[in-house]
Structure 1
């Protein structure tokens, strides 16, 4: 089946975005090109540049979509916590880390790759930092701002090191650093 054209194809932009996400999840930033996206989305090459003039525009839009999806998930997770003790929050965060590592490994790898790319590509920084901003925002409903900031950094470190490790972290590997921040005396 050939690519649809013109007004008869109102879903073209969405197909381009979905194709971009699939490429990023499978091949990372190195695999992203207008040509690869056009082929994956089954659209003419000119369509990708019509909607996204540069590769950075396409990448930025994809980062924002991933970030928005993560934000919705994290907000729902945070809202489900209700009133929670520091020790309870340690366990809830450990559950979250284990779930993310098990169910969203490709998205986590991509999020860290995008953050690393933003170090050299300032135009991507705002989008790449949306993950950490969401974490701090959600955690701030349960702890003070300073602790939320520290927890966000610890979560990033736990996730990054876990992704790079040869074996998954133990529950204690995860709860230890979190408890040091949230329940240091307990």
Structure 2
């Protein structure tokens, strides 16, 4: 039996989105094409362009969906922290780095790939910054705005170097970097 059409196939758009996300996570931005998405979703090629006229439309929709899921996870993480001391925040952030590298590696790679692509493609900048904006907002509930942004930058650096390097930094190296921002000298 072939693929369902029209009103008899109300989940087609969602299958196209899910297929796009799988391709992006597996093959990155370079692997994204309407043909690849149609094949992965099991839909006719015309369906992808019906719902998403351009590859950028498809890319934006998929990245926005992933960013929103990440935002929900990060907000839930921040809410579970409650009131936390600077030392407690250092440990919680070190746990977050370890969890991200272990459980969300493909998403991290894609987010950094998207950031790199946005350097040459201004139309991707807004969606590329969603991850960092979410981090700063969640961290801002546990520290001041300037420190939250600095922590977000340090987290990005730690994660990027961990992904690009042969081995992730030690927990001590992660906590030392974070503590340098959160713990006053001599404390």
Q: TM-score range by the shorter chain?
A: over 0.9
Aligned-partner Cα distance in 2 for 1:154–1:115: 16
User: Match of 1:134?
Assistant: 134
CA RMSD of superposed structures (Å): 0.8
Aligned-partner Cα distance in 2 for 1:2–1:25: 27
User: Match of 1:49?
Assistant: 49
Aligned-partner Cα distance in 1 for 2:163–2:184: 26
Q: Which consecutive unaligned segments of at least 5 residues does structure 2 have?
A: none
4+ aligned runs moved over 3 Å, structure 1: none
User: Match of 1:11?
Assistant: 11
Deviations 1:60-119 (A, max 9, x none): 011101100100000000000011000000000000000000011111001100111111
Within-5 A mapping of 1:38-77: 38-77=38-77
Aligned-partner Cα distance in 2 for 1:5–1:117: 35
Report the CA distance between 1:173 and its aligned residue: 1.5
Aligned-partner Cα distance in 1 for 2:17–2:171: 36
User: Match of 1:163?
Assistant: 163
Question: How many residues in Structure 1 have an aligned counterpart in Structure 2?
Answer: 186
1:2–1:42 Cα contact (<8 Å) kept: no
Moved more, 35-44 or 166-175: 166-175
Aligned-partner Cα distance in 1 for 2:173–2:45: 47
Within-5 A mapping of 1:104-183: 104-183=104-183
